[in-house]
Structure 1
Amino acid sequence: MWKLIGYARVSTRQQSTDRQEIDILAAGVRRDDLYVDHGVSGARASRPQFDRAITAIEPGDTLVITTLDRLGRSTQNMLAFADDLHDRGASLRVLNLGGGDVDTSTPMGAMVFTIMAALAQMEHEIKRERLIDSINKRRAAGQSLGGRPQSVTNSQVRNAIRLVESGEPVVQVARDLGMSRATYYRRAQELHARASHRPTQSTGPS
């Protein structure tokens, strides 16, 4: 009998897969059929739990993920993966793709997946170009003033984190920001800690 296979992933140990797991289980995936990778970049060729999930898939099964970037960043790789599942008689279901639930087992779902995969990579490339442009402008401003370059903003660090999560080398990203790798990790951890301890806004009466 066919079954649903779930897969969740986060790129750093500081992140949590709780939200992904809740959504995947709510979609009908059994806990025993849910595979989770912690601290693994989507750009890595080998992802232990992902590999186990793929091995467990049989004809008629469906792999369930929450968002397209759980598979990786390359449109070519995403499409090749979806084609491979199709050749094996299986399909891919993305719970939040283009604002809805998309299943590649249907013609419409396959078309939407192809379009959104291309858009996801384009968005990633645009963010990368903006970060590099921002860094170059900051450096130019620092040199023209003849003084110390402006400090790196939290927004720039967040963009850098996204680049690292997508597979960019930490050393190169930190260098582009004008900081050491240790400083990058410290700033990234500070942002993660600040986000995890952010108080929830009360909706009740004051």
Structure 2
Amino acid sequence: MTKLIGYARVSTKAQDADRQIQDLLAAGVRRDDLYTDHGLSGALAKRPALDKALTALHPGDTLVITTLDRLGRSTQKMLELAEELRDRNIGLRVLNLGGGDVDTKTPMGAMVFTVMAALAQMELEIKRERINDSVTKRRATGGDLGGRRPTFTESQIRTASKLIKAGEPATQVAKDMGMSHATLYRRIKKLP
């Protein structure tokens, strides 16, 4: 009996895979045959849930993913995986690929997969190029590079400084503010 094995992945722990899981279940994947990696980049060679999904696949089965980028970032790696699955007589079905789903068990599906894998990698490289260009331009003009924003106002730091001068232990004042005492001292030093 052939099975559909589903694989979902989210890149950060803050994200959830609920939408992917719902799509995979709607495509006929049983909940017991669903594998999910949380907080793992598609660029990683080893992903525990993907490895388990690949181990669970038998000849005639099909690996189902929602979008191509859930499988990987590199065209080379995706094509190697597709070839490995084909050699094991396992299909690869990508839901939501160009408005429909693609099954690599068909010649047309295999061709579409190859083209889409190349386009996915190109899109990633273009995005990286744009980000690098934007950061370079911001650096050159002294612009904001993003990063964590200060969560404490100058007034709050002044109040903390007054408490320390009044005899409160610096470590306790910093702890109450939710920062290390080293960070608090650094912020006090920066006060005008």
> What interval of TM-score do these two structures reach, taking the shorter chain for normalisation?
0.7 to 0.9
Does structure 1 residue 152 correspond to structure 2 residue 145?
yes
Structure 1 distance, partners of 2:133, 2:72, is 24
Paired amino acid for 2:144: S
Correspondence for 1:35: 35
Matched position secondary structure for 2:23: helix
8 Å Cα contact 2:5-2:64 kept in structure 1: yes
C-alpha distance in structure 2 between counterparts of 1:129 and 1:53, whole Å: 33
- The whole-number CA distance in structure 2 between the counterparts of 1:99 and 1:128 is 25
Greater RCO, CA 8 A, separation 6+: 1
Note the alpha carbon deviations across 1:84-131, whole angstroms, 9 max, x for none: 000001010000112210000001100100000000000000010011
CA displacement at 1:39 relative to structure 2: 0.7
Q: Secondary structure, in 3 states, of the residue corresponding to 2:24?
A: helix
Does 2:140 correspond to 1:107? no
What's the counterpart of residue 202 of structure 1? Answer: none
Instruction: Give the superposed CA RMSD.
Output: 1.5
Alignment gaps of 5+ in structure 1 = 142-148, 154-178, 187-206
In the aligned structure 1, how far is the partner of 2:83 from the partner of 2:91? 9
CA–CA distance in 2 between the matches of 1:128 and 1:43?
Answer: 14
Structure 1 CA distance for aligned equivalents of residues 5 and 31 of structure 2: 9
Partner of 1:130: 130
- Post-superposition CA distance 1:3-56 (Å, at most 9, x none): 100000001000010000000000000000000111111111111111100000
Matches within 5 A, 1:44-193: 44-141=44-141, 149-152=142-145, 179=147, 183=148
Q: Which amino acid aligns with 2:102?
A: V
Three-state SS of the structure 2 residue aligned to 1:28 is: coil
Deviation digits for residues 116-171 of structure 1, max 9, x if unmatched? 00000000000100110111111112xxxxxxx22236xxxxxxxxxxxxxxxxxx
Quick one: distance in 2 between partners of 1:139 and 1:32?
Answer: 49
Amino acid at match of 1:63: L
* Secondary structure of the corresponding residue to residue 63 of structure 1: strand
Q: Is the 8 A contact 2:25 2:31 kept in 1?
A: yes
Equivalent position amino acid for 1:25 in 2: L
Runs of 4+ with deviation above 2 angstroms? none
Structure 2: runs of 5 or more not aligned: 152-192
Work out the CA distance in 2 between the residues paired with 1:2 and 1:44: 29
Q: What's the counterpart of residue 20 of structure 2?
A: 20
TM, length-normalised to structure 2: 0.75
Aligned match of 1:2: 2
Code of the residue aligned with 2:104 in structure 1: it is: T
Q: TM-score if structure 1 supplies the norm length? A: 0.70
Larger radius of gyration: 2
Aligned-partner residue type, residue 115 of structure 1:
V
Is contact 2:139–2:145 with CA below 8 Å preserved after alignment?
no
| Count of aligned positions | 150
